[in-house]
């Protein structure tokens, strides 16, 4: 029996022609861009350079569309053959996009990293694209010198004793040089490439156009929000004045933390294109050889890292948005021969206060296996019917699991079949429904977990550390930009009492949570249910005063006795 010939769908054929023509026209009309200096001796005109980059992108998208159409034709979506075939297509397509990002460099590399971190595409894409490295060949110092002259003035060199012409780092947006000021201070000068804003505008328009085309071809994939979110993220990265402000705010928040160092900003040498900050020696946080060399336990480093970001998420609601290993250095200087140096403050997320409180409660509910509260909070976050998957995202357990960490073999099999029944459009719908604050936390948490895995540290440490700060964050009122309690008199004594109170109460509550986790499933005898009702009443009605401190303390001490555990 002869097989029926395959006719490529007319909609796809038309789209590919329109895609190519429109993209070429877009590149050709971009002649107003400044020429992009090549890293070789030749200089390519901006219009030709844009056309080449866009042609690569169009070719990649077109090849991917054809691959999906041919490879999946005739297969039923619910079949094993379809799942196996689509996984292979996902893998091939992800490798195509990896090659595209590596060839086009610049914002395509950052876009690939951004998409991989969002976890909105199948795992094949996230896995492949996460290997992208944001490193480029540095520009000659003569080009950097022109930017410094335009930004700091023609006599800028008089402010320095020396500037190392060889950069210590180079990425897609800027490169960094070590220098010494006339005052003797060592500084790091971050200098933005002169054409970067024009290139960003061009590349993000191309990405948005391609995403719109994919959405037209495949309505179930609604990904137009991705390039918009990426553009918003990148636009903050190219404003070095805003980065300097972010850095100063973070430094104020952690000014009493001897284990964390945030470089000082030299404002007189900082503009939108140039950022001058205090220089710190250090190695990437996942450099195990360096940790071994200085005699530091990786678990200690991982715990310090998780505590830093748990405090950001649950207490301050002010989160460094890009905690990859290159932005977090381990320095042998500091308390007990160890400190973390936090770099690159371009992207921060300030959480809505109601969201911060709700997320603290969500984390407690996840740890305590409180299904009802997890589902209720999931509804508040917009997750809807996908709220049942929130434990998988953050704790690695199913919502029905009785385990605090991990899953049984039966649970893994059940979850596998359940997830296989979900369509890609379900995932897209789920991600679209979540608030931006939630997605930002997911991204940061994924990056932190990646570092922890490289340090070979148990994930239990992350869960317990998050829990400790979630408990404190749920009790503690909003902190101001100085890291102090809002609406509290400036009296140092009163402030100390307030901090001591919240620390004491949260410690007791944290102990209670730990015991509940260790004990495991808790039965519901009438006596224990009654204790739980009393506890809920106290939590909702006792205010933050001395009476509240006394009543809470006595009650919590009673409740952590094993026989009275509820």
pLDDT reading at 5 higher than 80 = no
Query: Per mean pLDDT, which of 174-188, 322-336, 543-557 is the most reliable?
Result: 174-188
How far apart CA 262 and CA 243 sit, in angstroms, is 12
- Span 133-149, average pLDDT: 86
- Span 504-508, average pLDDT: 63
- Residue-level length of the chain: 566
> In which element (H, E) is residue 365 found?
helix 353-367
How far apart CA 455 and CA 458 sit, in angstroms, is 9
Tokens of 41: 């001796």
- Span 466-479, average pLDDT: 79
Q: Is 52 helix (H, G, I), strand (E, B) or coil?
A: helix
Name the nearest CA neighbour of 337 among 311, 306, 304.
304
Tokens of 415: 């979850």
Q: 339-342 and 348-350 as β-strands: parallel, antiparallel, unpaired?
A: unpaired
State the number of CA atoms in the 13 A half-sphere of 194 facing the CB.
Answer: 19
Per-residue pLDDT, 62: 85
14 or 341, higher pLDDT: 341
How far apart CA 114 and CA 106 sit, in angstroms, is 13
Let me know if 39 is exposed, middle or buried by CB neighbors in 10 A (0-12, 13-18, 19+): exposed
pLDDT reading at 559 higher than 50 = no
pLDDT tens-digit readout, 7-62: 444 444 444 444 444 444 444 444 343 334 443 333 445 556 667 888 888 888 88
255 or 559, higher pLDDT: 255
Least confident of 380-389, 510-519, 551-560: 551-560
* 474 pLDDT tier (thresholds 50, 70, 90): confident
* 198 pLDDT tier (thresholds 50, 70, 90): confident
Given the structure tokens 């804003």, which residue do they identify?
197
Let me know how many helices (H) and strands (E) the chain has, helices first.
21, 13
HEC sequence for 103-117: HHCCHHHHHHHHHHH
The answer to whether 340 and 308 are in contact (CB under 8 A) is: yes
pLDDT reading at 401 higher than 80 = no
The answer to whether 487 and 495 are in contact (CB under 8 A) is: no
How far apart CA 539 and CA 548 sit, in angstroms, is 9
Tokens of 413: 């099999």
Name the nearest CA neighbour of 329 among 338, 316, 342.
342
Distance of CA 179 to the CA centre of its chain: 31
- Span 496-509, average pLDDT: 58
Tokens of 455: 């340090």
CA angle 294, 300, 302 (to 5 degrees): 110
How far apart CA 341 and CA 316 sit, in angstroms, is 19
Q: Is 464 helix (H, G, I), strand (E, B) or coil?
A: helix
Q: What per-residue string of b and e applies to 390-424 under the rule 16 or more CB within 10 Å gives b? A: bbbbbbebbbebebbeebeeebeeebeeeeeeeee
- Span 289-295, average pLDDT: 91
In sequence order, the β-bridge partners of residue 340 are 260, 330
* DSSP class per residue in 72-114: HTT--TTSHHHHHHHHHHHHHHHHHHHHHHHHH-THHHHHHHH
Let me know if 184 is exposed, middle or buried by CB neighbors in 10 A (0-12, 13-18, 19+): exposed
Per-residue pLDDT, 405: 62
460 or 181, higher pLDDT: 181
Least confident of 78-92, 472-486, 519-533: 519-533
The answer to whether 438 and 381 are in contact (CB under 8 A) is: yes
Give the catalytic positions in this structure.
322
Q: 186-192 and 260-261 as β-strands: parallel, antiparallel, unpaired?
A: unpaired
The backbone region for 462, taken as left when phi is positive above 0, alpha when psi lies in -120 to 50, beta otherwise, is alpha
Which DSSP letter does residue 485 get? B
31 or 228, higher pLDDT: 228
- Span 91-117, average pLDDT: 85
Least confident of 22-36, 124-138, 219-233, 552-566: 552-566
> In which element (H, E) is residue 558 found?
helix 546-559
Per-residue pLDDT, 220: 61
């Amino acid at each position: 029996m002869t097989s029926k010939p395959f006719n490529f769908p007319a909609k796809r054929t038309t789209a590919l022609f329109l895609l190519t023509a429109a993209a070429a026209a877009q590149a050709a009309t971009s002649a107003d861009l400044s020429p992009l200096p090549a890293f070789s001796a030749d200089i390519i005109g901006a219009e030709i350079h844009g056309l080449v980059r866009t042609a690569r992108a169009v070719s990649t998208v077109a090849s991917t569309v054809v691959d999906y159409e041919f490879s999946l034709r005739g297969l039923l979506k619910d079949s094993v053959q379809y799942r196996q075939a689509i996984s292979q297509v996902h893998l091939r397509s992800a490798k195509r996009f990896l090659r595209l990002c590596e060839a086009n460099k610049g914002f395509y590399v950052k876009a690939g990293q951004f998409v991989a971190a969002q976890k909105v595409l199948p795992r094949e894409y996230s896995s492949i694209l996460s290997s992208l490295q944001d490193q480029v060949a540095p520009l000659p110092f003569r080009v950097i010198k022109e930017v410094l002259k335009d930004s700091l003035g023609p006599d800028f060199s008089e402010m320095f004793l020396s500037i190392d012409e060889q950069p210590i780092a180079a990425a897609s947006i800027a490169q960094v040089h070590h220098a010494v000021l006339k005052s003797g201070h060592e500084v790091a000068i971050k200098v933005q490439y002169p054409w970067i804003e024009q290139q960003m505008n061009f590349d993000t328009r191309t990405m948005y156009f391609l995403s719109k085309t994919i959405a037209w071809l495949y309505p179930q994939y609604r990904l137009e929000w991705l390039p918009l979110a990426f553009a918003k993220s990148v636009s903050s990265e190219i404003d070095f004045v805003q980065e300097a402000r972010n850095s100063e705010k973070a430094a104020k928040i952690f000014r009493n933390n001897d284990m964390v160092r945030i470089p000082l900003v030299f404002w007189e040498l900082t503009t939108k294109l140039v950022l001058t900050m205090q220089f710190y020696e250090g190695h990437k946080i996942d450099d195990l050889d360096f940790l071994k060399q200085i005699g530091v336990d990786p678990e200690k480093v991982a715990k310090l890292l998780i505590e830093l970001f748990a405090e950001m998420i649950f207490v301050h609601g002010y989160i460094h948005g890009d905690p990859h290993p290159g932005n977090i250095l381990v320095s042998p200087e500091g308390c007990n021969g160890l400190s973390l140096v936090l770099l690159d403050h371009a992207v921060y997320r300030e959480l809505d206060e109601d969201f911060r409180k709700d997320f603290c409660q969500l984390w407690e509910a996840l740890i305590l296996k409180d299904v009802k509260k997890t589902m209720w909070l999931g509804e508040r976050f917009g997750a809807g019917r996908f709220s049942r998957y929130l434990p998988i995202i953050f704790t690695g357990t199913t919502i029905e699991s009785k385990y605090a960490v991990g899953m049984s073999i039966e649970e893994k099999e059940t979850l596998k079949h359940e997830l296989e029944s979900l369509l890609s459009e379900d995932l897209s719908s789920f991600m679209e429904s979540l608030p931006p604050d939630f997605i930002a936390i997911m991204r940061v948490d994924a990056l932190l977990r990646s570092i922890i895995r490289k340090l070979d540290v148990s994930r239990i440490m992350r869960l317990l550390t998050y829990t400790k700060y979630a408990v404190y964050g749920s009790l503690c009122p909003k902190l101001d930009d100085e890291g102090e309690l809002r609406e509290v008199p400036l009296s140092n004594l009163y402030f100390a009492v307030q901090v001591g109170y919240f620390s004491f109460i949260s410690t007791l509550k944290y102990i209670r949570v730990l015991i509940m986790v260790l004990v495991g499933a808790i039965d519901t005898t009438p006596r224990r249910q009654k204790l739980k009702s009393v506890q809920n009443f106290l939590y909702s009605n006792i205010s933050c005063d001395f009476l509240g401190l006394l009543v809470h303390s006595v009650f919590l001490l009673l409740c952590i006795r094993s026989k009275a555990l509820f």
